[in-house]
Chain A
Amino acid sequence: MKFGVVVFPGSNCDQDCHYVIEEVLKKPVKYIWHKDTKLDGFDCLILPGGFSYGDYLRTGAIARFSPIMKSIIDFASKGKAVLGICNGFQILLEAGLLPGAMLRNKDIHFICKYVYVNTENNRTRFTSTYKKNQVLKIPIAHNEGNYYIDEKGFEELERNNQIIFRYCNRQGEINEESNPNGALDNIAGIMNKEGNVLGMMPHPERSSEPELGSTDGRLIFESIVNWLKEK
Chain B
Amino acid sequence: MIKAEIYITLKKTLADPQGLAIKHALDSLGYDTVNDVRTGKLITVELNLKDRKEAEKKIDDMCKKLLANPIIEDYKFQIKGEK
Contact = CB atoms under 8 A, between A and B. Distances in A.
Interface of A: 57-58, 61-62, 65, 94, 100-101, 103-108, 148-150, 182
A57 B65 CA distance: 13
Given A103-B14, A148-B14, A108 B69 contact: no
Per DSSP, are chain B's interface residues mostly helix, strand or loop, or mixed? mixed
Given A103-B14, A108-B21, A148-B14, A61 B71 contact: no
A57 B66 contact: yes
A107 B17 contact: yes
Contact of B69 (A61, A62, A105, A150): A61
B67 interface: yes
Contact of B71 (A57, A105, A148): A148
Contacts, number: 30
27 contacts: A57-B66, A57-B67, A58-B69, A61-B66, A61-B69, A62-B66, A65-B66, A94-B69, A100-B71, A101-B69, A101-B71, A101-B72, A103-B14, A103-B72, A104-B18, A105-B17, A106-B15, A107-B17, A108-B17, A108-B18, A108-B21, A148-B14, A148-B71, A148-B72, A149-B71, A150-B71, A182-B17
Interface string B54-83: 000000000000110101100000000000
Q: Which are the 8 A-B pairs with shortest beta-carbon distances?
A: A101-B71, A101-B72, A108-B17, A101-B69, A106-B17, A108-B18, A58-B69, A148-B72
Contacts of B21: 108
Interface of B: 10, 14-15, 17-18, 21, 66-67, 69, 71-72
Contacts of B15: 106
Nearest to B68: A58
Contacts of A57: 66-67
